[in-house]
Each structure stands twice: as C-alpha cells, then as structure tokens.
Structure 1
Amino acid sequence: MTKTAIPETPASTSAKILYRPFGIASSMIGGLAASAIFKQVYKRAVKGDKADVPGPLQSEYLLRQILVAAAIQGVIYSVVKASIDRAGARTFQKWTGEWPGS
C-alpha cells in the first residue's frame, strides 16, 4: 500500500507571501531541533573524553573524525529540515486550502 502524492496546483502569489514567515519560523525550529538531535546522536556514538562535536579548526581531532561528524550532521539536518518543511507546507495547505510551493 503506497501513499500517493498530493496533487499540487500552482501556488498563488498571496499564498507564497503568506507562507514566507511561516516557513522561516519552521526552518528556525527545524535547525534547533536538528542541532539538538545531532548532539545527542554524536554523544552516544562517540564515548569517552572527546564526546563533544569536533570543529574543523580543532587540531586535537583527526581529519577523519571531523569529516564523519560533519557528514552525520549534514544528514540529520537535511532529514529534519525536509520533514519540518513538508509538515509545515501540509499544515499551511490545510489552513488555507493552497499549497505554498511553486
């Protein structure tokens, strides 16, 4: 059993304008949520003294550790952002009857 996509009709200019503040707010919330999720995932994945997230300019970490942390962070951020953006668009559509996308 597969879910079908919602048929999109072109968004009106007013829907795009009304959605903009809603989209900005949901993106900020998504960024905060993604950051919190990443910190917890990284803390559980890397046990020991260096459970803090490595920054690219910290010389005590190997390049491999920094790149793995950055890749995990990117995946988590992308999935959380896409999920929140999609949920926000669906909620906006339920409230207004218009899809906010192009």
Structure 2
Amino acid sequence: MSDTNGFPIKRCTNIKRLDGKTAVVTGANAEIGFHKAGELARREALVIMACRNKNRTEAAKTKLLSLFGKDKVDWMKTGMADPCVVESVTPIKADQVMDIDFLK
C-alpha cells in the first residue's frame, strides 16, 4: 500500500477493527478506491469491490488478497451510471452478505 505515485500519504491511525462489517467500495481497482479497500480489509472488514473493468479488478483483488488474506475481498461488476447501486449490489451477493455497513 506504499505506492503513492509521488504524493505523500499518511496511514490511517484509527485502529478500530471492523470484524463482521461489510463495505462496498466503488472504483476499488485503482487509486483512492484501491487504498480505501485495502484499509478496510486490513481492519478485517469484508470488502466488495464494485468496479466496471474485470481485468483491472481481478488484478487489484489478487493484490489485496495477497496482502490481507482470503475471504476478505470479493468483487462484482457494476457502474456508477446505475442510480440504485446498492440495490443492484445486494441481490447479487445476497447469499454471502446480509447487510452492507459502508458504501464508499
């Protein structure tokens, strides 16, 4: 998580664990969204990466899984053009996720 593209970055000092929480992170395959997803996974939340590009998302998911372990990161194809993104996410993952605690 140290690749900052030349910009200084300060790690979140909040150490509160997020066990049992589910976060949907839009744009989680790059830049700020990727770092948000990583921080949430580091703090033990289940992270659902909501992204459009399958290849970029699979690569980002692989990197996050290698850093934070299995079963903490999943992804689904979605675009922000859908005004009901939460409603479109929930049925697809309903067998895995009961409630969405964060939408980033």
Q: TM-score range by the shorter chain?
A: under 0.3
Structure of higher RCO (CA pairs closer than 8 Å, 6+ residues apart): 1
Q: TM-score, normalised by structure 1?
A: 0.26
Q: TM-score, normalised by structure 2?
A: 0.25
Structure with more strand by fraction: 2
Compare CA radii of gyration and give the structure with the larger one: 1
